[in-house]
Structure 1
């Protein structure tokens, strides 16, 4: 815990007071946390969901309890390690061969290739696969700098290409005038008075099949173009995107967090979707009200940097802009491809084969987020090529500028991901689990689930990781006391708890800050406060529904 507090202090003081570049502050914070973490904690955090305790031994038959979701059920080499020392100092560890796993009447058993030696007394022991054990041992023996560097690389693997392609899309839409054409279409359809509401509704709907970061990347150029044309309300347009998209990310499947939580609680996807929309709408309303107040209180200008700088001068004639159809394609095509893959996987449930195997491959390829965004970038460049007097050299310079600006965002985001991973390696989740009271009931369990998720979210930054960690802590308590309401409310409470108090260890914080041109202080007082209000209000709505509409 001291290491975590020290790391958080380094990040906060480095950014707010020493004015260090965000990448350096996050990197140094991650390095300090990594250096101060004990090898045992690193190993424990790696094996947290990959073990099973042995409750009974009978010849070649092991009865398992507390089976982790990542243990797996495939035959192969496994280790027996001491339950109080997962690094295996007391028991050996002992390498055994498991021929098969059986599960009957909520009991899981492992059958060994040969019985354990008679002189072996395993006491309290864990079963863990050889690959997971070797992975944990290797990670716990790595140096701090190697673990930080590895985490940087893993974060880049997840979002690096996505940010690069989104930067190209944003700059090309602005430079070609496509973003302005889309804005004109929105204003003509709804009128300028309802443009902000259109942003909210659009981002909420899009964030159901699409990651929020992707929705933000795709819609930000529209907010920038609208602010450039009206000369005001840039903060309102940016916050409208956040208001609509952020709650869907944590409350409505098929995004990973709510999907995993619903699965663990045996809540159907349809129930989670309806519940997420039902309580999320109240958070959206509260966020919308705060957005209007913040826009009147703080006048944050559109800072003409990065992609916005490439937009050049205003288009003076509507006829000079690209057509609406061509303009919308770089945004529309990636969203359609991503949604198509989501719907296809939900319908087929992985049972596609034979004659439709080629369809499965094609949809999986085109629906990959990196491929979809790359195709969007190609279409965006084509809109820029169609601009009068645009040359290939000019196109190259625009793309080069977009990648340079996107590179800064990638560095900061990857550093934030590494900082969060180093905090996770301290095994903070297990510490919270040990201090959790087992006698919480009814509404108290909802409050406990919300607070646990909130604490984990604040400490390590990732909303999805906070939800996945919290459900592992809460489910045993729920199974013990029983729920006086539908389990969807417990899933929603965890989703709401993943929203409040995002700060510098959240990669989304830096994406919004750098892409929008907000300073760190402006991002804290707008984005961070906005998500906190929305999460709390949505949770209060969850409590009210659970109390008066328990659905038991």
Structure 2
């Protein structure tokens, strides 16, 4: 229990430093070192954990973040983002533009990890917000909600696929059950929730503003293909590598399924498709990476804090405390995962760690498919300062800490709690 108290002190220190306007990256590193030392870790192990945390976090993410930023900048500078805005608003109407963003978030979120999908979609969100004069959060929360829901509930997203393999769940049933949960949850968290919290901050007339046509913009087909090309490539790669066993064709699909490879191909195709000189294209790419440099550093520091919590054994303490509770297997799976999520920050780490603990609980009261969804729901619970997604949302939307808690953290908590409710409801209806 003392270790949990120390972690709480570390989180409070982080909040204090951030409120005092210390750069979040520096604050995270200071808190990581302080928390590690207070938890009794040797100095050398603390510094090694910080290095490992940064390396493991950025190792699989930095290329995706950089290429996603480049693609976003190319799409914005070419006018493709503005063309997409026009098409979406004509298709859905400005009053229903949230639904367009929500749908796009689903399409992007199924194959991509949250951070990669976020970087791909954020230029589109800002472009629509600018054109309609709507608050960025009015559109940003639907995007984030869709990405979070796919991260927790929908294969072939990598998270649910990994959990399905652990629990030996049927992918088709998991997808069907996941869709039954995802649509109402995304609607409540992504459409109803932002309208509720932003009520009174939008003039009625603003909902009727449409951008003017611009004949110089790229065609709609070209704009959508280049913007969504990473999604198409990853979906095709995922399906191909799943159902095709023949080499070397399967290796080609495996290559396309990798987010970094898909984004690299999209960047190269965008450079050749739009009317850029190579110099102009490289300038756009450079500016795109510059715009997220501090965000990358903050994410890295968040990874360091996460690793300190893992290496110090705090996660094992949480598991030991929650494992002794006599509860429904599905609720216990959610509770253990949620506890790890709140403590460790990483949804993926929390889900995979919890799955090993609750695997023996499978039975008549907990089907493999619903166990996947229960763990997925728990992995989204109460995202806060030790989660890289928290800092990405905060920095991209230029929010204060209280604002981030009221928007991002509240949205994630709504998704998690509704996911738990939906899983228990399906258990009673289906079994």
Q: TM-score higher than 0.5 here?
A: yes
**For the structure 1 residues 149 and 544, does the alpha-carbon distance in structure 2 shift closer, same or farther, using more than 3 Å as the test?**
same
> Where does residue 245 of structure 1 map in the other structure?
147
Provide the C-alpha distance between the structure 2 equivalents of 1:260 and 1:323, rounded to a whole number of angstroms: 38
Residue 470 of structure 1 corresponds to 354
- Other-structure match for 2:338: 454
Q: Please, what is the CA RMSD of the aligned residues? A: 2.5
1:421 aligns to 2:307 (yes or no): yes
**Correspondence 1:339 to 2:339:** no
Query: Any conservation in 1 of the 2:306–2:345 contact (CA below 8 Å)?
Result: yes
Shift of 1:466: 0.9
Q: Which moved more, 1:425-434 or 1:505-514?
A: 425-434
CA distance in 1, matches of 2:133, 2:310: 44
Paired residues for 1:299-318 under 5 Å? 317-318=213-214
- The answer as to whether partners of 2:87 and 2:220 remain within 8 angstroms in 1 is yes
> Given the alignment, which residue of 326, 336, 352 partners 2:222?
326
C-alpha distance after superposition, 1:158-181 (max 9, x if no partner): 111111111111222222211000
Q: 1:360 aligned to 2:241?
A: no
Deviation for aligned residue 1:515 = 2.8
* Deviations 1:319-338 (CA, angstroms, capped at 9, x unpaired): 01111222223322211111
Q: CA deviation at 1:545?
A: 1.9
Decide whether aligned partners of structure 1 residues 315 and 383 sit closer, same or farther in structure 2, where only a CA change above 3 A counts: farther
The answer on whether the counterparts of 1:178 and 1:383 sit within 8 Å (CA) in structure 2 is no
Q: Distance in 2 between matches of 1:365 and 1:274?
A: 27
Q: Say if 1:392 and 1:533 are closer, same or farther in 2 by CA, change over 3 A.
A: same
Cα 1:298–1:324 change in 2 (3 A) is same
Runs of 4 or more consecutive aligned structure 1 residues displaced over 6 Å after TM superposition: none
Structure of larger gyration radius: 1
* Deviation readout 1:211-232 (Å, 9 max, x if unpaired): 2322222222221111111122
- What is the alpha-carbon distance in structure 2 between the residues aligned to residue 535 and residue 454 of structure 1? 9
Instruction: Tell me what 2:291 maps to.
Output: 405
Q: Which has the higher strand share?
A: 1
1:229 & 1:166 partners in 2: Cα distance? 22
Deviation at 1:435, TM superposition (A): 2.8
> Which residue of structure 2 lines up, in the alignment, with residue 15 of structure 1?
18
Please name the residue that 2:265 is paired with: 375
- How many residue pairs are counted as aligned between the two chains? 421
In structure 1, how many angstroms separate the alpha carbons of the residues matched to 2:319 and 2:200? 41
Is residue 162–residue 373 contact of structure 1 (8 Å, CA) maintained in 2? yes
Q: In the alignment, what sits opposite 1:294?
A: 197
The yes-or-no answer on 1:217 pairing with 2:98 is no
In 1, are the aligned partners of 2:83 and 2:218 still within 8 Å (CA)?
A: yes
Deviation string, structure 1 residues 518-546 (Cα, Å, up to 9, x no partner):
34332221111111112112211221221
Change (3 A) 1:159 1:529: same
Task: Tell me, yes or no, if the aligned pair for 1:470 and 1:494 is still in contact at 8 Å.
Answer: yes
CA distance in 2, matches of 1:537, 1:20: 35
How far did 1:342 drift?
Answer: 1.0
Partners of 1:498 and 1:293 in 2: CA distance: 25
Q: TM-score, normalising length from structure 1?
A: 0.71
What's the CA shift string for 1:211-266, capped at 9, x where partnerless?
A: 23222222222211111111223211111111222111111223333223322322
Query: How much does 1:472 deviate?
Result: 1.7
1:233 aligns with 2:135: yes
Cα pair 2:46 2:308 within 8 Å, conserved: no
Higher mean C-alpha displacement, 337-346 vs 257-266: 257-266
If each structure's helix is expressed as a fraction of its own residues, which one has the higher value? Answer: 2
| Structure 1 residue corresponding to 2:320, chosen from 426, 434, 438 | 434
CA distance in 2 between counterparts of 1:345 and 1:231 reads 43
- Note if contact 1:252-1:277 (Cα within 8 Å) is conserved in structure 2: yes
Q: Which residue of 2 aligns with 1:484?
A: 365
Aligned to 2:329: 445
Q: 1:519 to 1:163 in 2, by over 3 A?
A: farther
